[in-house]
Amino acid sequence: MNARRALSWTPQGAFLVSAGLLLTAALLILRLPAYTLSPQALAPALAIDLMVGLPFLGYLFLVRTGAADILVLAPLLVIGIVLAEWWIPDAHLDLSGWGATIALVAEGLVVITLLLRARAIRRGYRRMLPDHVLPRDAFRAALAGILGGRLATVVASEFGAFWYATAGWRRPRGPARGHAFSVHTRNGYPALLGALMMAVVAETLAVHLVVSRWSAGVAWILTALSVYSGIWLLGDLLAARHNPTVV
C-alpha cells in the first residue's frame, strides 16, 4: 500500500495515471452514441487529444519536473499518432500522411535540445578532450551526456559531416597522444570520392531536368537529396584529414 502511494506521488507515477485516464477517456468517447452520430466532426478533436495530450502530460509531469529530458516528447507524440491511427477508422479521419510530421517534430526536438544545451555540450567537450585521442570522440562523448549513447552517435555523424564539409579545410589538429598516420593520401581515397562527387553533380542535373517535366516539386526534392549526398561525400573526404590512424 505504501509503495503504491509513493509511486502515485512521483512524476513518473503521476504521468502514468494521467495518461491512463486520457486513453481511457478516448476509448469511452469512441463508444458514445454522440460519436457514432457524427464521427467526422468528433474524430479530428479526438485525434488532437491523443497527439497533443500525451506530449503535454509528458512535459507537465516529466520534463517540467526534471524527471526526463525534453526528447521524451518525441516518442510520446509517436505513440499518440499511432494510437489515433489505430483507434480512429480511416473513414472517419485519414492519418496516413503523419509519418513526415513525426520525423520533422522529432528532428525539431533534437535541434532545440542541442541549442538549449549548447553551453553544456561545449563545456563537456573541453573537459573530455584530454581523455580522448581524437576530437570527434570527445564531441561524441559530450553529446552522449545530453542525448544518450545511440542518439549521440547519429547526431555526431550528421553534425560532423556538415562541420567537416564547411570547416574541414583548416589545418588538422593533432591527436592528444600517440603517433598519427594519414593513409588516405596513399590509397586513392580522395580520387575515388572526387569521382563520386562529379557523378552526383551530373546525375543531379540530369534527374532534375527529366523529373521536372512531370513534377517540379518532386524534382526539387530529389535535387535537395542529391545536394545532401554531396555534402556527406565532401565531409567524409575532409574528415579523413582530421581523423588519422593513431598508434
Query: Region 232-237: what's the mean pLDDT?
Result: 77
Q: What does the pLDDT look like over 195-226, one tens digit per residue?
A: 877 887 888 888 888 888 887 777 787 788 78
pLDDT for 147 equals 72
Based on its alpha-carbon atoms, the radius of gyration of the chain, rounded to whole angstroms, reads 25
152 vs 187: which has the higher pLDDT: 152
Flag whether pLDDT at 191 surpasses 80: no
pLDDT for 81 equals 83
Three-state secondary structure readout of the chain = CHHHHHHHHCHHHHHHHHHHHHHHHHHHHHCCHHHHHCHHHHHHHHHHHHHHHHHHHHHHHHHCCCCCCHHHHHHHHHHHHHHHHHHCCCCCCCCCCCHHHHHHHHHHHHHHHHHHCHHHHHHHHHHHHHHCCCHHHHHHHHHHHHHCHHHHHHHHHHHHHHHHHHHCCCCCCCCCCCCEECCCCCCCHHHHHHHHHHHHHHHHHHHHHHHCCCCHHHHHHHHHHHHHHHHHHHHHHHHHHHCCEEC
Task: Please list, in sequence order, all residues whose beta carbon lies within 8 angstroms of the beta carbon of residue 125, skipping any fewer than 6 positions away.
Answer: 138, 139, 142
Residues 130, 176 contacting (CB under 8 angstroms): yes
Tell me the whole-structure pTM to 2 decimals: 0.47
184 vs 73: which has the higher pLDDT: 73
What percentage of the chain reaches a pLDDT higher than 70?
79
What percentage of the chain reaches a pLDDT higher than 90?
0
pLDDT for 9 equals 67
What are the sequence ranges of the domains in the chain? Answer: 2-116, 118-246
* Cα separation values, 211 from 3, 201, 204, 227, Å: 63, 16, 10, 16
Task: Please list, in sequence order, all residues whose beta carbon lies within 8 angstroms of the beta carbon of residue 147, skipping any fewer than 6 positions away.
Answer: 71, 110, 113, 155
Query: Region 146-167: what's the mean pLDDT?
Result: 74
Closest CA to 47 of 90, 4, 15: 90
Flag whether pLDDT at 3 surpasses 70: no
Averaged pLDDT of the chain: 76
Give per-residue burial for 19-48: e unless 16+ CB within 10 Å, then b: beebbeebeebbeeeebeeebeebbeebbe
Flag whether pLDDT at 5 surpasses 60: no
Flag whether pLDDT at 1 surpasses 60: no
pLDDT for 97 equals 61
pLDDT for 102 equals 65
188 vs 90: which has the higher pLDDT: 90
Q: What does the pLDDT look like over 92-133, one tens digit per residue?
A: 776 666 656 666 666 777 777 778 778 888 888 888 877 776
Residue 55 CB-half CA count within 13 A: 18
4 vs 133: which has the higher pLDDT: 133
pLDDT for 185 equals 57
pLDDT for 38 equals 77
